[in-house]
Structures are given as structure tokens and as C-alpha cells.
Amino acid sequence: MAYRIRPCRSLDELGQAAGAIGHYFGWVPTDEEVERFSQVIPPERMHAAFDGKEIVGGAGVFPFEMTVPGGPVPCAGVTVVGVLPTHRRRGLLSRMMRAQIDDIHARGEPFAALWASEPTIYGRFGYGHASLTHEVRLPRIWAAFRAGTPARTGRVRLIEQDESLRVFPRLYQKVARETPGFLARSKAWWELRRLRDDPSRRPPGSGPLNRALLEIDGRAAGYALYRIVQSEEAGHWTRTLRVVEALGVDPTATREVWRFLLEVDWTDEIQAWLLPTDHPLQHLVARLDRLDLRVGTGLWVRPVDVGATLSARSYRSDSRVTFELRDSFCTWNEGTWTLADGVAKRSSRRPDLRLDVQALGAAYLGGFSFAELSRAGLVEEASRGALARADALFLSEPAPWCPEIF
């Protein structure tokens, strides 16, 4: 039987294509869920794999902007990738990735990004692992700030959904503009993905989503979304404060948002994940050793149009570097590229660095240096000092951070 891959043409097809990944976590999208889903991912951005008339796989793209060093850039946010167990290992994922990336290329979106549930899947399609995340589990008894931390400032209010929908996006946008890895959220995204609190989809033992707004001198300055999760064992109750998202528009606001979260009474533990590796929390607490800091994988980045991707971000120096690039999946990228004055052009210069497109994706947001990638054999230095020059260019401050899995 010949399989066919094409974009979805209806909400019904969108639902069936999303249902392929849904199969793996027991989710059969309802009509209402598909309608909501279509507000953030139009049917034509979802590729479906057909076996005859039956949809047996899907791979979608959220069309959004992602901040790269220098500002927001159009990005294809790859999501809901799945093939039904009845059709696995017949090349359907590969064919969907082919169709999807050709479509992204034709639409002129410079790069694609994703979260990988399995890090072994996407390298073959040119995605490089581009950022790390931190996870913390801090027992409340150790949750004090270090001595010398400035005194409390501002006040926190618990607010309703309507008010949070008016205020949080502005604060988020301020942080998003300056932080590589953040994505631009539409109103629908806020409503349907971030602030939605369907009781049937809460984690076991979880209470509602709490919305806390920090105001300093009467001005909104930060917020936290969090849940209290209770569990019981042999009559002993444990309460965990799970941080869903916490942001401040500046260091003072970030500190005060976290002070609030760390001080909630009756909490045994404060948990947070998807934090950036340079999050100030690790310097704010008195007991770094009690944070139980764990490292997780983060964003994967795939330059689809290498020239456009490189030219879209800003750089820390005006030095020049020439890459010899291999890209067997998107051969239009292959060859020699010189980056000079922030613009990448095809070139006949001698290469400074030789690398695969995966390594370029890994370094793109500034989350990994070319030097460390070269120590893992992923980048070859072809001219003396080239690693240091490239790193001086690509270095990014702050570290990449995407506060949500999409």
C-alpha cells in the first residue's frame, strides 16, 4: 500500500492527525478541543500521513516568532509529531519531516524549533540540541534567601483569569523581547494554553491554577502561575508548590516573585522546571545545595535557510567567520558561508570552521559554545583561533530560555 503525506484540509483531518501522538498518552481529541487547537495551529500547518483514507500519522507547526539574540524572528514551532503503532518504522516520520521542512522553507520561515520527547529522533533531520533547562526541588525548610538579600518590596495580589489575561501578556512580552528562546504568544495562546485550567486536565492531587501578580510602586512588575499539589501517604499529607511560570521584568521583580513563592505557608517543597541555566534563583537562596538542581534538555533548533537564520540574529562582535557546512537533509544549505557584519553570504573563502547543520543549530541561540561542541567532535577548527572568534560572535546573554513545552 502506498502512503501519502499532505497538509490537513479540515478540522476533522486536523483532529485525526493530532490523534496519532494523542494515542501515546491516551488522548482522543474532541471536536471542541480540535476547534480550540485550530486557533493556534491552522489545519494547513498540520501534515497528515494517509494509509488509503485513514490518517495514521501527523506532524504540526505552530507559526510563531521566537526571540533569538537581537529580537524576535519567525519560527516554525514543530509539534504533535506521531505515527500510530500500527504503522511505525515504515518511513512515515521521515516523509512527514521531509514534507514539513520543504513547506517551512517555501514559506520563508528561517528556522524550526521543537522540544523532543526523545533526543534520538531529530538529529537525523538536522535539529541540534540548543539549550539546557534547570529543575529545582527545594524543601520549604531550606527556602530562605541568603543573608544580605535586599528587604522585601512591592506587594502580591492573587487575581482572576480576566485580569491576568490583561496584565500578564505585557510583562511576558517585556521579558520575551530580551530572552532568546521565548516565543511570542497570541491572545488565543494565552487563553487556550497558558491560562486555561480545565479541572479534568489538572495533575493528580492538584488544586487550581493560581495567578499571582507582583506590583512595585503600584506598577505590575512580575507574576507567578502555580499550583498546590497534595498527596497523602499513611495519613501524612505532603503539599508541593509547583511553579508553572514565574517572571519578573527586572532583577528586583524576579527576586520578589520568587520570595513570594518560597514563603507560601504549609508547603513542604517548591518545585519548578524549565528554568534557564542562569536563573538568579540559584544565587538568591541561602542553600544552593538544597535546590536539588537537575539539568534537562531544552530546545532543539534547525536552521532551515542557513543564510536567513544566521542573518536574523545579532552578534557580539563584528569579526568575520567562515563556515563549511554539511546538511544532507536540506542540501540547499550545503557549502561555504561567510558571516560578516551580521550578514551571512555564500562565499569562496577558506573555511574557519567545518560543521554539520546540527552543530550550527546547537550554537545558534548562544546556549552552547563552538569550543565545547568541538571538544565533543561536532565542530572542526580549520583555522587557528576560529573557535574563539566564532564564540565571541555567538555568545549570548542571557542564556536561552523557553518557559514552556510546545
Ligand X SMILES: CC(C)(COP(=O)(O)OP(=O)(O)OC[C@H]1O[C@@H](n2cnc3c(N)ncnc32)[C@H](O)[C@@H]1OP(=O)(O)O)[C@@H](O)C(=O)NCCC(=O)NCCS
Question: Smallest distance, Å, CB 299 to ligand X?
Answer: 12
Question: Smallest distance, Å, CB 125 to ligand X?
Answer: 9
Question: Smallest distance, Å, CB 29 to ligand X?
Answer: 15
Question: Smallest distance, Å, CB 291 to ligand X?
Answer: 28
DSSP 251-314: HHHHHHHHHHHHT-TT-SEEEEEEE-TT-THHHHBS-GGGG--EEEE-EEEEESSHHHHHHHS-
Using CA atoms, how far residue 315 sits from 55, 304, 335, 340, in Å, is 44, 19, 22, 10
Give me the residues that bind ligand X (CB under 6 A), please: 21, 24, 81-83, 88-94, 116-118, 120-121
Question: Smallest distance, Å, CB 196 to ligand X?
Answer: 22
Question: What whole-number distance in Å separates Cα of residue 403 and Cα of residue 18?
Answer: 23
The residue sitting closest to ligand X, measured at its beta carbon, is 93
Q: 358 phi and psi, to 5 degrees?
A: -60, -45
Grid cell 521566537 is found at: 66
Q: 349 phi and psi, to 5 degrees?
A: -70, 165
Strands 111-115 and 71-83: what pairing? parallel
Which CB atom, from 71 or from 119, has the smaller least distance to ligand X? Answer: 119
Which CB atom, from 22 or from 69, has the smaller least distance to ligand X? Answer: 22
Question: What whole-number distance in Å separates Cα of residue 121 and Cα of residue 12?
Answer: 28
Which CB atom, from 16 or from 369, has the smaller least distance to ligand X? Answer: 16
Which three-class secondary structure state does DSSP give residue 333? helix
Which CB atom, from 24 or from 27, has the smaller least distance to ligand X? Answer: 24
Marked catalytic residue, from 122, 226, 260, 364: 122
Cβ(245)–Cβ(365) under 8 Å?
no
Is there a catalytic annotation at residue 24?
Answer: no
Can you read off the three cell numbers belonging to residue 129?
540540541
Which CB atom, from 72 or from 126, has the smaller least distance to ligand X? Answer: 126
Question: What whole-number distance in Å separates Cα of residue 227 and Cα of residue 240?
Answer: 8
Local structure of residue 145 (DSSP, 8 states): B
Q: Among positive and negative, which fits the CA dihedral 273, 109, 61, 95?
A: negative
Question: Smallest distance, Å, CB 163 to ligand X?
Answer: 35
Which CB atom, from 89 or from 236, has the smaller least distance to ligand X? Answer: 89
Which residues are identified as catalytic?
122, 406
